[in-house]
Structure 1
Amino acid sequence: MEIVKYRFQQHGDERGQLVALEENKDIPFQVKRVYYMYDTVKGVRRGYHAHKCLKQILIAIHGNCKIHLDNGKETAEILLDKPYEGLYISNDMWREMYDFSEDAVLMVLASEYYDESDYIRNYDEYIQYIKNEVKE
């Protein structure tokens, strides 16, 4: 499994740091939706789904968390702990977010508008979907 992290350019001086992101330049797709998670209860795992079409960049803009990725053949655990680094998650990838620090803010940049029909929320259905994709 290839893990793709983007390291975003930081601009800073004695006043602090700034990261600017531009779609199709710093982000490899047009951004159609932005959302973020915070105040996540200790011990809670989030996600538990894959997407048929949507691609994402996850950025821990404050604090840290871990991401579990599963492509149906391999799994990986990734720590997100830098506000200038983004994890690319392609479509067809199962994801779970967990082990959030108390101060964690996880921002997600998405390639598509919200569409419930794009979600695969059952892991067994996800595995079947991946097997069918390989056959086609």
Structure 2
Amino acid sequence: MIERVKIINLPKILDPRGNLSFLESNNHVPFQIKRTYWIYDVPGGEIRGGHAFKEQQELIVVLSGSLDVIIKDGNQEKKFSLNRSYYGLYVPNGLWRHMENFSTNTLAVVVSSTTFNENDYIRDFEEFKKNK
């Protein structure tokens, strides 16, 4: 299941005036985007996330700085280091994830396949493992 997580190379248009990257629903992102949120001003040593989604899929893009995303499927664990604004990490539903090791002034944007629904979250890791 963890094999479904993948880095997606987003388009990168090089220009001497500054580069440009973009993403499109159902093209670069393997789902229709329903929500976008961003994570910033994370104090040193803090961890974000720490949950799984029953339905939501997401793509995490670090626009500035760097962070590590730790993915768990109940048996395996894999770390993805994100530090390029033209890489997106696709995280399908049904996987536990958290983000750590934020560099100073990291800005990450997350595009999601669903609107916010608290009932979609699994916030207890033991409960997550039982449901696997």
Structure 1 length as normaliser, TM-score? Answer: 0.93
Give 1:93's aligned residue.
95
Q: Distance in 2 between matches of 1:65 and 1:5?
A: 14
1:19 to 2:35 alignment: no
Structure 2 length as normaliser, TM-score? Answer: 0.96
Q: Distance in 2 between matches of 1:124 and 1:40?
A: 26
Shift >4 Å, 4+ stretches: none
Aligned residue type for 1:126: F
Aligned residue type for 1:57: L
What per-residue deviation string (whole Å, max 9, x for no partner) do you get for residues 46-102 of structure 1? 101000000000011100000110011100111000000000101010001001000
Q: Which has the larger radius of gyration?
A: 1
Offset of residue 12 of structure 1: 2.2
Q: CA RMSD of the aligned region, Å?
A: 0.8
Offset of residue 103 of structure 1: 1.7
Partner of 2:109: helix, strand, or coil? strand
Give 1:59's aligned residue.
61
Gaps of 5+ in 1: 131-136
Q: Distance in 2 between matches of 1:8 and 1:58?
A: 12
Aligned ranges for residues 40-55 of structure 1 at < 5 Å?
A: 40-55=42-57
Higher mean alpha-carbon deviation, 78-87 vs 13-22, is at: 13-22
Partner of 2:32: helix, strand, or coil? coil
Q: Distance in 1 between matches of 2:6 and 2:98?
A: 16
1:78 to 2:88 alignment: no
Q: Distance in 2 between matches of 1:21 and 1:67?
A: 20
Q: Distance in 2 between matches of 1:97 and 1:13?
A: 31
Partner of 2:129: helix, strand, or coil? helix
Aligned ranges for residues 29-48 of structure 1 at < 5 Å?
A: 29-48=31-50
Aligned pair count reads 130
Give 2:6's aligned residue.
4
Give 1:134's aligned residue.
none
